[in-house]
Amino acid sequence: NAGVTQTPKFRVLKTGQSMTLLCAQDMNHEYMYWYRQDPGMGLRLIHYSVGEGTTAKGEVPDGYNVSRLKKQNFLLGLESAAPSQTSVYFCASSYSNSYEQYFGPGTRLTVT
């Protein structure tokens, strides 16, 4: 089992450009999450999904969109990147809401 994988690992964008981060899990988990990690601020939830075809907003959803067309995949989109979106993005999945979360290796995004 690969667990949770993320692509790409690194990306540099210019302000205003768009991109999609892909998260895939092979554990048949219902729940999937996107977090961003900034120095001194821990992990903040951007969006999450409780199952295929469903998405919901987390703490910091502005500027991001998500889609969960297939159970194993959770996409995070930035329509018009801003320097404030420079961060490390982690995807995670879990069997249910009260179980532990399994994290992917992260994507380091820089917006110039």
Residues 48, 64: contact at Cβ < 8 Å? no
Partners of residue 107 on adjacent β-strands: 89
Specify the 3-state DSSP secondary structure of 84. Answer: helix
Q: Which stretch binds other proteins (CB under 8 A): 7-15, 36-44, 68-76, 79-87?
A: 36-44
From the list 90, 92, 87, the residue with the least C-alpha distance to 109 is: 87
Tokens representing 2? 């690969």
Min CB(41)–other proteins separation in Å: 6
Task: Please report whether residue 59 would count as binding other proteins according to CB under 8 A.
Answer: yes
Task: Please report whether residue 22 would count as binding other proteins according to CB under 8 A.
Answer: no
Selected from 17, 20, 22, 43, the binder of other proteins by CB under 8 A is 43
CA distance 72 to 4: 9
How many CB atoms within 10 Å of residue 90? 21
Task: Please report whether residue 98 would count as binding other proteins according to CB under 8 A.
Answer: yes
Q: Which stretch binds other proteins (CB under 8 A): 9-17, 20-28, 63-71, 94-102?
A: 94-102
Min CB(16)–other proteins separation in Å: 29
The residue ranges that bind other proteins (CB under 8 A) are: 35, 40-45, 48, 58-59, 90, 92, 97-98, 100-106
